Amino acid sequence: MRSTADGIVIWEVRTGEADRVITLLTPSGLVTAYARGSLKPGGRLTGSTAMLSYSNFELSSGKSMYTVTDATSQNRFLKIYSQADKYALAVYFCELMKYLAPTEEDSSEFLSLLMNCLFLLDGDLKPSWQVKSVFELRSMSLAGYMPDVGGCSVCGKEDSAGAVFFDPLEAVWVCSDCLREAGRIANYPFSVIAAVRHTVYSELKKAFSFTLSDESRKELVRLSEEYVLAHLERKPKTLDFYNMIR
């Protein structure tokens, strides 16, 4: 049976001399497809089935997976390709999608999140640290791990006079007034909790519009990364690589 789908290539495994098996993120879930001859220089499928290519795919279903019969590239995010740190970050986003996005279920919000983040990186419209933290927190939220950052988990207050405690595994926070009662030691400035709240509770297009001091920025980067690692069953190899070359 033949079908068509718009989607982005989020993973590739090279097989044989010139073929690859690719994973696509489409609005209706992850799809695995065989792309014959797609590693041939100048081949018909070479660009449109490469990592980060957003293409219209023509697929035919086989016994175990689809085969790409044709693909027309619509966006390849080529500026990301030319910067090693951005490319490493984009591949990390893709690895997270591979673990978090569903198969054969509505994935349109995962796809919008990934496409938005790639547009921002490609156009240099937002700094990488911010795109990374928003991507991490929102992708985990979409996958069912939204942190409860509304009010303090002890008194319910939405504000805090001083530094707070955030527990990545429990996904809750404790305000400065309740630290002693909760037997906790502050580990983040409150501004970071406010940024997480904005990031996960706003609409996608507003999620990137917050500012932080240099110090709080580092703390948000630490929090969002710890958050991913606390809930994901494995450590993404691409994250180590990104942190190494950054």
Least Å distance between CB 216 and Zn ion? 20
Question: 55: buried, middle or exposed (CB in 10 Å: 19+, 13-18, 0-12)?
Answer: buried
Number of residues located near Zn ion, criterion CB under 5 A = 6
The answer to whether residues 226 and 139 touch, using CB atoms and an 8 Å cutoff, is no
Least Å distance between CB 49 and Zn ion? 52
List all residues 6 or more positions away from 94 whose beta carbon is below 8 Å from its beta carbon. 10, 11, 51, 52, 114, 238
Return the structure tokens found at 142. 């979409």
Q: Measured from the CB atom, is 161 or 245 closer to Zn ion?
A: 161
Q: Measured from the CB atom, is 79 or 157 closer to Zn ion?
A: 157
Q: Measured from the CB atom, is 127 or 150 closer to Zn ion?
A: 150
The interface region with Zn ion, picked from 37-45, 87-95, 175-183, 206-214 by CB under 5 A, is: 175-183
Bridge partners for 55 per DSSP: 7, 73
Bridge partners for 198 per DSSP: none
List all residues 6 or more positions away from 164 whose beta carbon is below 8 Å from its beta carbon. 152, 173, 174, 175, 176, 179, 186, 187, 188, 189, 190, 193
Interface with Zn ion, residue 185, by CB under 5 A: no
Q: Three-class SS of residue 183?
A: coil
Least Å distance between CB 157 and Zn ion? 5
The answer to whether residues 157 and 177 touch, using CB atoms and an 8 Å cutoff, is yes
Interface with Zn ion, residue 178, by CB under 5 A: yes
Interface with Zn ion, residue 245, by CB under 5 A: no
Interface with Zn ion, residue 155, by CB under 5 A: yes
Q: Measured from the CB atom, is 97 or 175 closer to Zn ion?
A: 175
DSSP 149: -
Q: Measured from the CB atom, is 73 or 176 closer to Zn ion?
A: 176
Out of 30, 35, 134, 152, which residue is the one contacting Zn ion (CB under 5 A)? 152
Q: Three-class SS of residue 84?
A: helix
Least Å distance between CB 147 and Zn ion? 16
Interface with Zn ion, residue 25, by CB under 5 A: no
Out of 18, 154, 186, 229, which residue is the one contacting Zn ion (CB under 5 A)? 154
List % helix, strand, coil for the chain (3-state, nearest 5): 40, 20, 35
Least Å distance between CB 164 and Zn ion? 9
Residues near Zn ion (CB under 5 A) are: 152, 154-155, 157, 175, 178
